[in-house]
Amino acid sequence: MRKPFEDGDLCFGRHPVLDLLRADPKRCLKLYLARSAEESFRRRILAMAKGSGIPVQQVEMSFLDRLAPLSVHQGVVARVAPVALLDFWKFVEGIPPLPEPVLVVLLDHVKDPQNLGAIVRTAEACCAAGLLLPKRRAALPTGSVVKASAGAVFRIPIVSIVNVTRAIDDLRELGFFSVGLDTVGEKSLFVEPLPERLLLVIGEESGLSRLAKEHCDEIRRIPMRGKGESLNASVAASIGMYEWFRARESIS
């Protein structure tokens, strides 16, 4: 049987979910909607979700019974973040202007919540301006991520993006140089200093997606001498962030 989400990760029932979508849609990570739900309610929920960019998975009622046992879910369950995800352009408004050094971290569909929590924790320690997360096919800041980050998700902007490649292109227009970390990179991470206004792009252990690699300004690899073929996503992200942070610290 599917393990239920942690306490506080779910909102269920027609009125509570509708209230969430009206009052605080940025906290809604995903909707699970019963295929057998009343048609007028289904249309309303789908329209509200589309307007807020919230992914919807249509499921059987039995799935919702397992997801939220002992609850009166009425055919709809929302997965909720403990913190609201920041809109990308709202985040951009708060970025320090040129020539101020700025680090932004973008996760290319990193799916493991423990990795996400560790990355958030390191991003805060390295004074990153924010962490960009796609809302589809990726880990999102649920209760387990809050725990793994030691609460750092409440102290650093967590930004919702629709499309990884679009975010890379938009930040390039704002003076950011994007560096993706991947084992196929021809250049070592340490061969030369990282740009002062850096968008660091991190993928899963299998590497960055093809489109992310094509849109990054540069792909670098982390040199390895052991037998392992790749590093855990959070380890690779930490090395990349601290390489940027180390150079800033040595200057200050």
Percent of the chain with pLDDT over 90: 62
| pLDDT value at 84 more than 80 | no
Domain count, the chain: 2
Q: Which of 18, 49, 80 is the last residue of a domain?
A: 80
Domain presence at residue 5: no
| pLDDT value at 6 more than 50 | no
Domain presence at residue 1: no
The CATH number that applies at residue 20 is 3.30.1330.30
| 45/112 same-domain check | no
Q: Which of 31, 59, 80 is the last residue of a domain?
A: 80
| 90/61 same-domain check | no
Residue of 38, 36, 45, 42 whose CA lies nearest to 18: 45
pLDDT tens track for 154-203 = 899 999 998 999 999 999 999 999 999 999 998 999 999 999 999 999 99
E strand intervals along 127-222: 130-134, 158-161, 177-181, 187-188, 197-202, 218-221
Domain presence at residue 198: yes
Name the residue range of residue 68's domain. Answer: 10-80
pLDDT tens track for 48-83 = 999 998 999 999 999 999 988 877 899 999 988 878
